[in-house]
Amino acid sequence: MSENFAAFLYLVSGVLFILALRGLSHPTTSRQGNLYGMVGMGIAILTTLLLAGPSFGGLVLIVLGIAIGGGVGAVTAKRIPMTAMPQLVAAFHSLVGLAAVMVAAAALYAPEAIGIGTVGDIHAQALVEMSIGVAIGAITFTGSIIAFLKLDGRMSGKPIMLPQRHLINIVLGVAMVALVVAFAITQSYVLFWLIVIVALALGVLLIVPIGGADMPVVVSMLNSYSGWAAAGIGFTLQNLALIITGALVGSSGAILSYIMCKGMNRSFISVILGGFGGESGPAGADDLGDRTVKQGSAEDAAYLMKNASRVIIVPGYGMAVAQAQHALREMADKLKKEGVEVKYAIHPVAGRMPGHMNVLLAEANVPYDDVFELEDINSEFAQTDVAFVIGANDVTNPSARDDKASPIYGMPILNVDQAKTCLFIKRSLASGYAGIDNTLFYKDNTMMLFSDAKKMVEDIVKALAD
């Protein structure tokens, strides 16, 4: 295959990747977007194989690798529950980072294979590209592992604050830059692996102080890192498809991180500095003071919603944990049959990763036209009879809007407290992932429904049928 034709095919795959991103921006076109992405990746892989022209033995190894990796990926994707999707994404990001490190190492030890020079005489430009790619890849690898452990509950969701952590990070960052310069000059294998070690340590130190409340930003940030790592290695390999793909993933992840930060009224720098949010804990008697909550039953909730004109459902991570999305859709269908207008309100940082709630509702076949983002539906709560909150804690906390002393003050919230009645399903009065008490629980128009989310919704469905 000629290089010009290969470049054309890589360009075609790049266009398909762009179309994939555009398709994934909306639920109604997401399947088509996935199809574009798969076709584009297929074209890129076949083009690379035809351009490289591997030997029979090499081709066997490549096919074997694709079969093993593809098989593991297919089985994992099929078995993984939707509640574990955030940690799965973090795990995949770690593999991208590890792949970048391994490819950079292969390029260093066999530069003739990719035309960047010979051992001990690699092109200076390739060395710089290799160093940047391996550094970002190693940071992505360990950072994603820490994110996976936090999201999966295998590590505390609380910020782990090391003494002098900022100074340590600065020292490691400066050391890594110095190592990159020295490696570009000397081409030393030792310096290469020192860059890897420092970057691995930096990945851990960057993520451990970040609390649970900032995890959606972390997931999108690591997604961006993985893209830039791939792009850096793409330059080393002189592979146009890898450069295009990496740049698209890196830039889209960066934009998504910005959107997430905006949705939390947090700066990107403040997220990186960490220290915000943690594991939820039960609210004790001392926390309540003189405040009381109004507690209701499934029958109470069914009566209120059955006699309402408009109900807005606000899903959160509690719905994901309980796997209540199918029961929730059934409840909504029954309300619609009673003539009630039902809508869903999604906060941009609800759940543990961007789009988490949208994915779960789509899995339950909730009509796309019934699902609205915060900025499109927030003004409707004041004219709504019932706001039905199912496990969405921090994103409905009025303190973010009213209390200037609150750590989450300024974060845009869903104004569920402005509805005539707010029904809130929760197991207890525990704080959310930000570790802050929710003042919504104690408002006069709030009725708490203490139960597992799925069981409560199923009980409401039964009450609606009576």
Tokens 């995890």 — which residue? Answer: 215
Q: Beta strand 386-390 with 310-315: parallel, antiparallel or unpaired?
A: parallel
Query: Residue 137 and residue 199: Cα distance in Å, rounded?
Result: 8
Query: Residue 261 and residue 2: Cα distance in Å, rounded?
Result: 45
Query: Residue 309 and residue 107: Cα distance in Å, rounded?
Result: 65
User: Is 334 within 8 Å of 465 (Cβ atoms)?
Assistant: yes
Tokens 């309402």 — which residue? Answer: 308
Which residue is catalytic, options 286, 287, 394, 417? 394
Specify the 3-state DSSP secondary structure of 218.
Answer: helix
Specify the 3-state DSSP secondary structure of 294.
Answer: coil
**Kind and range of the H or E run holding 244:** helix 240-264
Query: Residue 140 and residue 419: Cα distance in Å, rounded?
Result: 43
Annotation marks residue 214 as catalytic: no
Tokens at 133, concatenated:
């790619």
CB-hemisphere CA count at 13 Å for 395?
Answer: 28
For 404, residues 6+ apart whose C-beta sits below 8 A from its C-beta are none
Phi, psi of 230 (to 5 degrees): -65, -40
Q: How far does the chain reach from its first CA to its final CA, in angstroms?
A: 70
Tokens 């290969």 — which residue? Answer: 6
Tokens 């088509």 — which residue? Answer: 32
* DSSP count for the chain of H helices, then E strands: 18, 8
As annotated, the active-site residues are 394
